Amino acid sequence: MSNAAVEAIVLPDKPVEECGVFGIYGAGLDVAKLTYYGLYALQHRGQESAGIAVANGQRVELQKGMGLVAEVFTGHSLDKLTGHVAIGHVRYSTTGGSQPLNAQPLVFRYAKGMIGLAHNGNLTNVGELRSQLAYSGSVFQSSTDSEVLVNLIARYNANSLEEALMKCMIDVKGAYSLLVITEDSLYAARDPHGFRPLCLGRLGQGYVVASESCALTTVGATFIRDLEPGEIIRIDGDGLSSTQGLRAKNPAHCIFEYIYFARPDSTMDGFNVNRVRREMGRQLAREYQVEADIVIPVPDSGVAAARGYAEEAGIPFEEGLMKNRYIGRTFIQPTQQMREIGVRLKLNAIREVLEGKRVVMVDDSIVRGTTSQKLVAMLREAGAKEVHLCISSPPVLRSCYYGIDTSDEQELIAAQKPLEEIRKTIQADGLHYLSKDGLLDIFAPKQNCFCTACFDGSYPVEIPKSKDGGKYILE
Ligand code: SF4
């Protein structure tokens, strides 16, 4: 199980990832097994369900279920999936509930044959599209926004699937990195802002498309490039072709992918995640100088930033919190009364490192603040003299509507309290968030190519208006 996955369960005070997609085309390749390994590498992007659809020129076979990749595909279950093209999906439910019908890929039979779809991201106008489709006779099996996409593609596929994808891109708003499978071809598309990552690689004579480059390297593929915002690619017996489906808008890649979600060994849109996190730490040290004896990370996502901070500040880097790497999804969740245990199960302080020390603790983000408060208390109990908390992202003030579960604004501590009150609440001696400018400078000269809406409310795509004041409800 991935670190982020464990954090999301044991420290329910973190944003939660969205989904991961993986697709492969290649005669002679064991596409089902390679997709399984690719999904394994993307497990941190979703732990609720997993699925693989494989096409063999005649039909599309599907296997999916609830749970982790290793729980859904056991024994010889993959042996039945044979063919030369496959798509796979791991899911965390950002829309639609956590139930088997909502697991992806979604596979349907329609006038032109069979079609399957795997989607990462959230559509922002899905309510409107869904009612239009429902009034014109469409029926829905699931409560996901992804089924709206399949419906539109099937409806628009008069001449070619690329044309259908292009028309679909005109109708839908929001974030989508998509994979589509037919009986003999693989298609991939990225929304015109490029919110969610999607990259292309080469494996022998075949091609691989995945949410993150770590999945390409896991299966032995060579990274070729990221898909451009608004691009559609088709891979079939004639090779690979690319079309600009919709004119690219200002790029708005999700900056939170770099802060927390993506794997450090992934490189997305030209930036390696580990390097970015280290730079965030260096920048934090330039912005917040404090007399301290050691710098410690909140493992694992705070490690690279803590190293960067320590290097820049010239303060020794130490591991002051030990992480239990063996907590699985199935462990019994602590009750309200036993919340303390939840954090201690995941992280424990090392007295020998912390006793009598002035500590800078580096974490990637604060959502509700409950975990930070417990960690500060834990360090003090272990003898830390001072605890300064440095956060390698700006304060999270607004909700995300593009595929990340950041909690409601009422639950976001930074949206509710000024800095000094947050510091008092978590009982730290000092608290500093990375400035937005400091964060964006790391991406120079591409600092205008990122979505920062959860920090500043400037949403690149209009957000849904709903009955309950902005919260996006599909069901
Ligand atoms: Fe990413 Fe935040 Fe933008 Fe959502 S609002 S896409 S989490 S940067």
Annotated domain spans of the chain: 3-252, 270-448
Regarding the beta carbon of 252 and ligand 1, being less than 6 Å apart is answered: no
Q: How far apart are CA 272 and CA 274, in angstroms?
A: 6
185 annotated as belonging to a binding site for a ligand: no
454 annotated as belonging to a binding site for a ligand: yes
Q: Which residue, 274, 144, 268, is CA-closest to 195? A: 268
Q: How far apart are CA 428 and CA 350, in angstroms?
A: 18
Which atom of ligand 1 lies closest to the CA of 401? 4
Q: Judge whether 91 and 46 are in contact, CB under 8 Å.
A: yes
The helix or strand, by DSSP H or E, that contains position 242, with its residue range, turns out to be strand 239-244
Q: What is the pLDDT of residue 34?
A: 97
The tens place of each residue's pLDDT in the chain, 475 residues long, gives 344 444 444 444 666 657 999 999 999 999 999 999 999 999 999 988 999 999 999 999 999 999 999 999 987 889 989 999 999 999 986 555 667 888 999 999 999 999 999 999 999 998 889 888 888 888 888 778 888 999 999 999 888 999 999 999 999 999 999 999 999 999 999 999 999 999 999 999 999 999 999 999 999 999 999 999 999 999 999 999 999 998 888 999 999 999 999 999 999 999 999 999 999 999 999 999 999 999 999 998 899 999 999 999 999 999 999 988 776 655 555 566 666 677 778 889 999 999 999 999 999 999 888 889 999 999 999 999 999 999 999 999 999 999 887 778 888 999 999 999 999 999 999 999 999 999 999 999 999 999 999 999 999 998 877 544 333 333 3
Q: What is the pLDDT of residue 93?
A: 64
Which atom of ligand 1 lies closest to the CA of 195? 6
Unique residue bearing structure tokens 């964060």 = 439
Q: Judge whether 363 and 7 are in contact, CB under 8 Å.
A: no
Specify the pTM.
Answer: 0.91
**Beta pairing partners, 90:** 20, 50
Q: Judge whether 371 and 401 are in contact, CB under 8 Å.
A: no
DSSP label of 260: I
Regarding the beta carbon of 439 and ligand 1, being less than 6 Å apart is answered: no
CA angle 426, 402, 460 (to 5 degrees): 100
Q: How far apart are CA 195 and CA 109, in angstroms?
A: 29
Rounded to whole angstroms, what are the CA distances from 87 to 107, 151, 206? 11, 18, 14
Q: Judge whether 176 and 119 are in contact, CB under 8 Å.
A: yes
Contacts with 118 (C-beta within 8 Å, 6 or more apart), sequence order: 19, 21, 22, 23, 51, 53, 87, 88, 89, 104, 105, 146, 178, 179
DSSP label of 246: S
Q: Note the CATH number of domain 270-448.
A: 3.40.50.2020
| Positions marked active-site | 19
Which atom of ligand 1 lies closest to the CA of 254? 1
238 annotated as belonging to a binding site for a ligand: no
Q: What is the pLDDT of residue 244?
A: 95
**Other residues' Cβ atoms within 10 Å of the Cβ of residue 399:** 23
How many helices (H) and strands (E) the chain has is answered by: 17, 23
168 annotated as belonging to a binding site for a ligand: no
Regarding the beta carbon of 200 and ligand 1, being less than 6 Å apart is answered: no
Best probe residue, ligand 1, of 120, 254, 408, 436 (max atoms within 8 Å of C-beta): 254
**Beta pairing partners, 140:** none
Q: How far apart are CA 124 and CA 360, in angstroms?
A: 39
* Assigned fold of 3-252: Glutamine Phosphoribosylpyrophosphate, subunit 1, domain 1 (3.60.20)
By alpha-carbon position, which residue is closest to atom 1 of ligand 1? 254
Residue type (1 letter), 422: I
Which atom of ligand 1 lies closest to the CA of 452? 8
Report CA(174)–ligand 1 centroid distance (Å). Answer: 11
The helix or strand, by DSSP H or E, that contains position 165, with its residue range, turns out to be helix 161-171
